[in-house]
Amino acid sequence: MCLSSLKQSGLPRTLSTTFSADSMGKLLSGFHTPTLSTRLRYLVIAVFSLTLGIWLHGTLASVFAIHYLAFEAPEAPIPNQHVSPATLYDAIIVGGGPSGLSALSGLARMRRNVLMIDSGTYRNDPTRRMHDILGFDGVPPAYFRHIARAQIAHYNTATMVNGTVTAISPVSATLDRDEDDSSSFPTDPTYPTYPTLFSVVAHLDLPSQKLENQTLYARKIILATGLRDILPSTPGVAEAWGKGIFWCPWCDGHEYAHQPLGILAPLPKVPGLVREIHTLNGDMVAFVNGTDTPEQRAQAEAEHPGWAAYLASRNISVENRPVARLVRLGGDEEAFKDEEWRQFDMLGLPSVAHRDRFRVEFSGDGDGYVERAAFLANFPTEQASPVGPDMGVELVGGRMEVNNKEGLLTNVPGVYAVGDANSDNVTNIPHALFSGKRAAVFLHMALEEENEENEKRPNVMRSVEKMGLESTQGLVKRHEKLDVRDVWHLMNGEPESPLYAR
């Protein structure tokens, strides 16, 4: 059933709520749970909707009730936010977007003691809805993060905190060596038994206090720090970013299908963008902003031989006048004011056509303007956080270079990079989830291989103790003779320990 037919179905307005996408985003941002009054309101709406749904023999009213009962009714556990400087974490994840959450989930399910530090800045935050994520198609990004955190909070070896990491430094060089241990410690990142240790300096925003320049320690690091889009200063662009201007056709293109589209990109980038989105839009104008020059045409020919004939065959017109400004003429915020529409939008329908409209105005000689519904853009990007490059992670094409065969390991031993920030150049949420899980699997296996090797190196355990850290992995000294039961008790910890298995 489409939204228009729902609007005409005459369902009672008592089903509607005052929940807009913006207010829901505010509710679900950060590590906060809905208030009791909000939950009671949801419960009343859910019970009424379920009753009405049964009376109407299974319409979308009952779907909303099921949606509530599945995701809101169970009391979500409060995420573990206890941070201990005396703990040697198996891994610290920097960044709480989809790739960071995926890595956290993968390590928590293997009972790794892992800390995720989330700055609260996300590349996809400006967009209204996420798409192409099975089971979550059409939900706001904040809702996806909320559900992910609530589920991960069930795993008591996972810690999630708000904060900003300012520096990461390898501290493995401080390990003491036995006089009879003349082995060298290789720096080759593919060598699995190198005992890496890192200090992480962060500003932490904990529920009870703010900690400045807090130093934490971890055996491994996962950088899920993301990218930042460098938007032009053209008036109207920043305001429309994610709400009429998008860069990923798979993520946002379907909602503008069969609507007049603009392309904001230098001339050499236009043919590739047209190939990506032509099945969705036949009416396209490429706004190349003065880059239709002989030099740029030569570059376009080198990158896309026959590009001019291709654009002509697809009826793509090229507008070379410099863009002075984008003026919004309308959008979802105006089109979807009706409360019934908002209510059905809360059902998470996977794809609803957007209602954006813009006027492109030009500078220079000549009058006139062009109206478009939306724009596919190609803007440059940069690393959202400097902590990776600052600690020596090498960049290629502005991305942190990773070794896919080693689970997205960087050139710095023990440091992995996932999501948009790394060099595999695939920037969408399904791939971000995959990359976080891939790094988690390889990191987990690397830790276990190191544990086996570290049992033969008493200096490793002594150095951990010298630093005053509590190793959660129970590294066994070489000279200790323990039977299987002793090893179990050592690894299992105390009953109050988050790692304790009953």
Nearest in space to 424 (alpha carbons), one of 273, 245, 227, 275? 227
Helix (H, G, I), strand (E, B) or coil at 95: coil
pLDDT in the model for residue 425: 86
- Determine contact, residues 53/65, Cβ cutoff 8 Å: yes
pLDDT in the model for residue 45: 53
Show the 3-state SS of 398-453.
Answer: CEECCEHHHCCECCCCCEEECHHHECCCCCCHHHHHHHHHHHHHHHHHHHHHHHHH
DSSP secondary structure letter of residue 304: S
pLDDT in the model for residue 107: 97
Q: How confident is the model at residue 4 (pLDDT cuts 50, 70, 90)?
A: very low
pLDDT in the model for residue 10: 28
Query: Going from the N-terminus, what domains does the chain have, and what CATH number goes with each?
Result: 3-30+34-71 (no CATH), 87-227+382-492 (3.50.50.60), 235-377 (3.50.50.60)
CA–CA dist 170, 195 (Å, integer)? 11
- Determine contact, residues 228/95, Cβ cutoff 8 Å: no
Q: pLDDT per residue over 101-134, tens digit each?
A: 999 999 999 999 999 999 999 999 999 889 999 9
Residue 13 scores a pLDDT above 50: no
pLDDT in the model for residue 331: 87
Mean of pLDDT values over 147-168: 95
CA–CA dist 250, 490 (Å, integer)? 49
Q: pLDDT per residue over 196-240, tens digit each?
A: 899 999 999 888 888 899 999 999 999 999 999 999 999 999 999
pLDDT in the model for residue 179: 40
What distance separates the 2 farthest-apart alpha carbons in the chain?
87
- Determine contact, residues 7/336, Cβ cutoff 8 Å: no
- Determine contact, residues 235/331, Cβ cutoff 8 Å: no
Q: How confident is the model at residue 174 (pLDDT cuts 50, 70, 90)?
A: very low
Q: What is the percentage of the chain residues whose pLDDT exceeds 90?
A: 55
Q: Provide the token pair at 57.
A: 């023999």
- Determine contact, residues 476/482, Cβ cutoff 8 Å: yes
Q: Provide the token pair at 241.
A: 């970013």
Across the chain, how many H-helices and E-strands are there? 17, 19
Q: How confident is the model at residue 41 (pLDDT cuts 50, 70, 90)?
A: low
**Neighbouring C-alpha atoms within 13 Å toward the C-beta of 327:** 9
CA–CA dist 299, 295 (Å, integer)? 6
From 71-85, 284-298, 426-440, 447-461, the region with the lowest mean pLDDT? 71-85
